[in-house]
A and B are shown apart, each in its own frame.
Chain A
Amino acid sequence: MNTPEDSLDCGHSLAELSTYLDTGEIADPAHLHSCPECQAGLASLRRLSQLGSELLTSDLADAGSGHDDWMQSILDNLRLELRPGRSIPLQAGNPKDTLWETEGSISALIRSVADALPGTAAGKCRLHGDVTTPGAGITVDVEIAVVYGHPLDERAEELRRELAQTLAFQTELNIETINITVRDVLEPPSAADQVPSPPTSPAPTTREDQP
């Protein structure tokens, strides 16, 4: 049974969605067609799966399970960000109309932009500031993990530029700052770090956290 913390607002959990991706089985498949949060969750899990495949085909295949914590962190953030969140007002063409974007839809959009970059996965994606007040200054915080071998500075700058363009196009938010933090770099152990080990023992994993 899922705890409330594990479940999305619709009652489904990421574990159920993951099982659905693996087996095609879920209690109410029709629900997936009518739930944007589940659809965003499935899209994120598919992208994570693709990145996992990239890791498994790299030198990290023998490096143990050092990225498990990183993967768990991403899943923890997904649980939070797949919820609808706050309602972000949009300008209406008629004073009797009220138009909104959900915070969850924008978080998912930010995540999809980050995940679309090669060798990159979004961790935490947050909108800081009063998004419910038109024109209020908003700060976007995005944490990413990058597979070893991809240029970090270029990747962060490219992501910042693409997010600025995308958010200007798809929202009416007053974005003042976009902070990109490379939270994890998954790299294979260097030759100097390697300690001779019995043939049956896996090589150690080197995992760096950058502020």
Chain B
Amino acid sequence: MTEHLEPGSIQSAGASPAVAEELLGVIQGVEGVSAVYPAQPLWQSIAGAAMAAVTGEILPLVSVTGDGDALAVKARIGVGTLRPAPSVAREVAGAVRTHLLPRDAAVEVYVVKVGP
């Protein structure tokens, strides 16, 4: 399912795949990010796993929830060895925040892998 949303029209995680896809590109573009992993692993989300099994739909790697004025973004990333992981995590959060302007956002970033 592809749904194009105008800025400010985001209602929930399920209704914001376009924004999640945009943010995936933003995060992958940060120097030092080697991988982006599912923000909510399927085995932690029975409902998500069941839906994916039935529909075959791939859930967004980046989680985006909230309304149009205040978003919550969660991402799990892998970081290479050439740049400090804490700096990369901060740059990811900053890049997400900048991309979503003028909307406000709370960004949660997990570094789940450090290395090649």
State the A residues within 8 Å of B (CB). Answer: 9-11, 34-36, 39-40, 43, 84, 87, 90-94, 96-102, 104-106, 108-109, 112, 169-172
- Bits for B74-105, please: 1 = Cβ < 8 Å to A, else 0: 00101101001110011001100100000011
Q: List 26 A-B contacts (CB under 8 A).
A: A10-B43, A34-B38, A39-B113, A40-B113, A90-B85, A90-B111, A92-B90, A92-B93, A94-B94, A96-B105, A96-B106, A97-B106, A97-B109, A98-B108, A99-B89, A101-B111, A102-B110, A104-B112, A105-B111, A105-B114, A106-B114, A109-B114, A109-B115, A170-B114, A171-B85, A172-B86
Least distance between A47 CB and chain B CB atoms (Å):
12
Chain B residues near A98: list those with CB within 8 A.
106-109
**Chain B: interface size category:** 20 to 34
- Interchain pairs with CB closer than 8 A, number: 95
CB pair B86 A108 closer than 8 Å: no
State the B residues within 8 Å of A (CB). Answer: 35, 37-38, 41, 43, 61, 76, 78-79, 81, 84-86, 89-90, 93-94, 97, 104-115
CB pair A112 B86 closer than 8 Å: no
Chain B residues near A100: list those with CB within 8 A.
89, 108-111
